[in-house]
Chains A and B, each alone.
Chain A
Amino acid sequence: MRQLSVAAYAYIGCAVLAAVGCAVPAALPSASTPWPTVGLLAVLYAACERMRSCPLSRALARGARSGGAPGHAEGMPPRWGCPVLLAGVFLLPPAAAALAVLPGALLSRTEERAATARRVWHAAELALAARAAAEVFGAGGSRAVLAPEFPYALLPAAAATTVFCAVLAALDGGVLIAAERHPPRTAWRGLLLRSLAPHLVHGLAGLMMAVLWRSSYGPPAALLVLLPMYISCWVFAQYHRERAAHQATIRALVQAVDLKDRYTRGHSERVGRASVMIARELGMAEDRLDVIRFAGILHDVGKLGVPTRLLRKDGPLTPEERRVIELHPEYGHEIVRGIGFLGEARAAILHHHERMDGTGYPYGLRGREIPESARVVAVADAFDAMTSTRSYRRARPVAAAVTELRRSAGAQLDPRMVRALVAALARHGWQPEVVTAGTEGPAVPPPRPALHRHPAPEAGPVPGTAALPGTATAPHPGPAGGER
């Protein structure tokens, strides 16, 4: 919520009025509201909301913390107190269920910007959802919470939880349009589907709380249900934090390459992006896309093994030096060999300089012998090398690069991958200057003399591309010069 618009105020105002209308009947003298239960649940929910980052979890998280996890704040994901809300829905009359939500939601922690508006909105939508869910549950037979009829409570409880979730999703979509100016067509996309499964699980926990609450053991037994839920949410948050830290480490591997070879800055990230575009165009599965992205990002990681003096050398390379540089795919494979989840990305790193006609390195594989992932990365690498600015020449326009790629398809690159990239470019375009967060560092690479370090391609099968870094088109002797 940036500067809240009039529409947003109007929308939130309407929701607040409706919520007040939902909750007020509980306070009327005629209503037989079970005040102790309402009070206890309200306090409980408020405690849950305040405890998003509790000292216990912080103590546990020591040593497992990440510095580079943008977007994922410390502590719980929001609304881990959801089972309490749903227990209220199952235990209380509808209006009282709406009332019990309010204190917790109004006291909750939230982002700095427009905090009051956020809290009020949060309280209003939860009250509305709770009221609706409680009405549904009441219609389905609220007495079923009593123990002997327990199995019959499952269906109404599931229905009530679904309604709760649906009302929240509908209202959330509305506020996205009113306050965040999302287009109406996309505002609701995926909102319900994403949240339904977690809500149903929380619904089961809430039902268990309600059953225990009404049993002879009383509310203390119900409280115990919250502990496993809390731990579960905590683990979930930890998982996301750890994953972000892991991705930061992958980036760090790439940045370590940048330390040595400064002028290919951003190249790895862009190759990763282009590789994913190709793979998606080929219809690869989502988890394979991830692996391909890592293959693109890490394809040059083996340059860590090449002496820095060689990588930064100005002027032509001797055949001996070229051979050393040509070792980088093998070094890269050696470095990432221990990382289990990379899977076929490891093959891509080893073989991204193979050529379709069998004159590439390190093994001189040809055609379909080259792993598919390596063929994808090779095309992406060649494309980015042509379209990005290097110290010794300017970037080419995308159209020129595409022509060049088409020309080298067959002998050097896999035509299928080239076609896929061209199709993807036609559909999505290309923003070469996008640099993902975290690649900042020494902002300007040291100026290098604009030397042509890439020997002209005598009799190269694809004349023209040999001078382009990243394409490695020059035939033996001397493909390494093309690599840089």
Chain B
Amino acid sequence: MSADGPGDPLAVPYRTGTPRAVVLVHAAAGALACLALGHTLWRGLSDPGIALAFGALIAVGELARGGSAPPARGGAGTLPGDRESAPLGVAGALAYALLGEVGGRATSHGVLQAVAVVVAAGLVGLVPHVALGRGPALDHIARRVLTVGFAATCFQPLYTTGRLAAWIGNGSYYICYLLGLLALTALCDAVLAAALARARTGWPYGPLLRDELRSLLGIGSAICATGLVIALATAVAGLWALPVFCLPLLLTQLSFRRYAAVRATYRQTIASLARATEIAGYTPQGHARRVAVLSRAVGRELGLGEADLSVLEYAALMHDIGQLSLVDPVTGGATAGLPPAEQRRIALLGGAVVRRTGVPAEVAMIVERQADPFRDQPLPARIVRTVNAYDDLAGGDGGPGGTLRALERLRLSTAQDFEPRVVEALARVLARPFGAL
């Protein structure tokens, strides 16, 4: 929320340096890509027209990708499309991997050519993004190379040798096989994505995988279905199917982008509203933002999923809104020192404001209950209460001494005010190096 204008105000910096798991995934994907490209250059393209059409589709999908670098994880990401910023590109890549024939005529591109086309088209689509100074999002490309390689390996050899047709024929069972294969591919991709995120951020693996799987239900299933439909329709109707079916998908992608844009401005507005108390002098500079970032980290430490985390974040941002209706500011903005009845009154006033903002009702509920004894509170309210008190006690910049003293004070009040579990999670989060929040 500092001076960097309309950017994501709550983004969390990444851990510096590259963890071993990431290096491993990148190396595997790089090796596969090099092998595929080398093999294709050596042997020449088979069916160049088809390869070109699908390559163009993937490149267009990549070009239409939204502006933000894909792993925007510091922020609230209930949007299932956060995970995949170029659905059209992914669907095209999957379709090419699962393409057995075009207009009734069998194709002859193998596994390696499929990977090579996906890599080449992806690189072409990347050029403008790199030119504009956005990161190349290597994690996404690595994941895509590996998943496409996996899907093509499970399909192409079986199909071209005719064994698939001999086993299950060309009707409904064939569709079922493809669906099962796609489900498996998506599952592997989710596991891989969660592992990468875990390695990069150090967050617990379970909730990350759960979020990936949940996003699979939304945009993930649509991408897989689209890839499959493109492959089947091309097999039946020839390359004509590509533009016809890609138009609806392109529209989906555009509406996803609009959705993401309006979501981003929504977050900016909430953050501005939260900052109002700081500008009014009720709370110290940066208090709302610090509480939001720390609450998110503590919530993640306690295993909350992405949807709960975004509710928690909104509540943490707006927890002091109630102070706006006070005629005189509380000294230092620290509500933690007020008598409980007064704290509760401010919390109720804040809830009344939050209820009008259009955020989920849970947020207002958390804001209202933030001053209750922890046994009466839902978990997010306990987190907000603890982190808020910590920030008040540690006095913003903290420093090692302030941090320890504040934690000690919190631990002394775990009988009634703060839940011990939350305080310990906070201590664990604070013990980490800064970037790992």
Contact = CB atoms under 8 A, between A and B. Distances in A.
A251 interface: yes
B78 A64 contact: yes
Given A66-B358, A66-B359, A227-B221, A260 B255 contact: no
A224 B174 CA distance: 14
A82 B225 CA distance: 18
Interface string A427-442: 0000000000010000
A60 B356 contact: no
A118 B228 CA distance: 38
Interface in A197-246: 201, 204-205, 207-208, 211-212, 215-218, 220-221, 224-225, 227-232, 234-236, 238-239, 242-246
A331 B1 CA distance: 15
A256 B270 CA distance: 12
A221 B256 CA distance: 25
Contact of A228 (B6, B174, B222, B276): B222
Most buried by B among A60, A154, A204, A244: A60
A338 B221 contact: no
Interface stretch (B236-244, B369-377, B412-420): B236-244
B214 interface: yes
Interface stretch (A172-180, A299-307, A387-395): A299-307
Contacts of B240: 150-151
Nearest to A232: B252
B328 interface: yes
Interface stretch (B58-66, B261-269, B334-342, B422-430): B261-269
A304 B262 CA distance: 25
A190 interface: no
Given A252-B273, A307-B280, A340-B6, 16 more contacts: A63-B307, A67-B361, A68-B356, A154-B244, A211-B236, A218-B172, A225-B225, A231-B219, A231-B222, A239-B255, A242-B266, A260-B325, A307-B329, A338-B271, A341-B265, A341-B268
Interface in B327-356: 327-329, 353-356
A148 B238 CA distance: 8
Interface string B79-94: 1110000000000000
B237 A150 contact: yes
A217 B175 contact: yes
13 contacts: A60-B78, A63-B311, A63-B360, A64-B79, A154-B244, A220-B175, A224-B175, A227-B222, A228-B225, A231-B221, A234-B218, A244-B358, A341-B265
A161 interface: no
Interface in B263-310: 263-266, 268-273, 275-276, 279-281, 306-308, 310
Nearest to A341: B265
Contact of B245 (A147, A148, A208): A208
Interface of A: 56, 59-60, 62-69, 147-148, 150-151, 154, 201, 204-205, 207-208, 211-212, 215-218, 220-221, 224-225, 227-232, 234-236, 238-239, 242-253, 255-256, 259-260, 301-302, 304-309, 312, 331, 334-341, 438
A245 B255 contact: no
B233 interface: yes
A380 B402 CA distance: 50
Contacts of B154: none
Nearest to B244: A204
Classify chain B: how many residues form its interface, as a range: 35 or more
B237 A256 contact: no
Contact of A249 (B217, B218, B264, B358): B358
Given A244-B358, A249-B269, A256-B353, A147 B237 contact: yes
A141 to B, nearest CB: 16
Contacts of B249: 228, 232
B259 A242 contact: yes
A62 B308 CA distance: 9
A217 B5 contact: no
B321 interface: yes
A63 B259 contact: no
Given A239-B258, A252-B353, A212 B233 contact: yes
Contacts of B252: 228, 231-232, 235
Contact of B358 (A148, A228, A248, A338): A248
B251 interface: yes
A218 B26 CA distance: 40
B226 interface: yes
A256 B276 contact: yes
A231 B238 CA distance: 26
Nearest to A239: B259
Most buried by B among A234, A259, A339, A438: A339
Contacts of A56: 217
Interface string B205-232: 0000000001001110110011011001
Nearest to B170: A216
A251 B269 CA distance: 10
B298 to A, nearest CB: 18
B233 A208 contact: yes
B9 interface: yes
A201 B243 CA distance: 12
Contacts of A235: 81, 252, 255-256, 259
A129 B19 CA distance: 60
A208 B244 contact: yes
A201 B253 CA distance: 14
B326 interface: yes
B247 interface: yes
A256 B349 CA distance: 11
Contact of B1 (A301, A307, A338, A341): A338
Nearest to A64: B78
A304 B232 contact: no
A238 B236 contact: no
B280 A305 contact: yes
Given A228-B225, A231-B219, A335 B275 contact: yes
